[in-house]
Amino acid sequence: MTGPVDPADFAAAFAALYAAHQVADHWVQTQRQADRKGLPGWAGRIACAAHVASYTLTAAVALTLVAAATGWRPNLLAVAAGLAVSAVSHYVADRRTPLRRLADLLGKDPAWLERGGGLYALDQSWHVGWLFVAALIVAV
C-alpha cells in the first residue's frame, strides 16, 4: 500500500463489492454454472471461469456506478488488483474441493457441512472475507 486508506473509500468499495457479490452469486450466475463449476476436469473449470467472469464484470459495474454517483475516483490499477484478488479467491472457493479440504482439516462436522448448510456458510464467509481484502486494495 502507498499510504493510509481513506475509510470512506474503503466503505464505498466494500459496499459496492458486497452488493455485486450478492447479485452475481445469486442472480447473475446461471444454473448451468452453479451445477457444473465444482465438477472435476475442464467442464468444471470452464463453468467456474464463466461464473467468475460474470461475477467480476458485475463487481466492475458496481464500482463504476459508485464512482459515477459519488464522484469517487479510485486508482484504476488498484481497482484492477482488487478485482483480480476477488476473482482468484472466488474461483478457488467455487471449485469446491479446496474449501472442503480446508473444512475437513479444521474438523468441521461433516453432517453440518452436507446437510446443515455448512458448506454454503463457509463458501459465503470465504467470499466476504476476500471482498474485505479486495476493498482495501481498491481503496488504496
| 19-57 pLDDT tens trace | 999 999 999 999 999 999 999 999 999 999 999 999 999
CB proximity list for 40: less than 8 A, separation 6 or greater: none
| 72-130 pLDDT tens trace | 999 999 999 999 999 999 999 999 999 999 999 999 998 898 888 899 999 999 999 99
What is d(CA 88, CA 49) in angstroms, rounded to the nearest whole number?
10
H-type alpha helices, 2-96 = 7-23, 31-36, 41-70, 76-94
CB proximity list for 55: less than 8 A, separation 6 or greater: 20, 21, 24, 25, 28, 29, 86, 87, 90
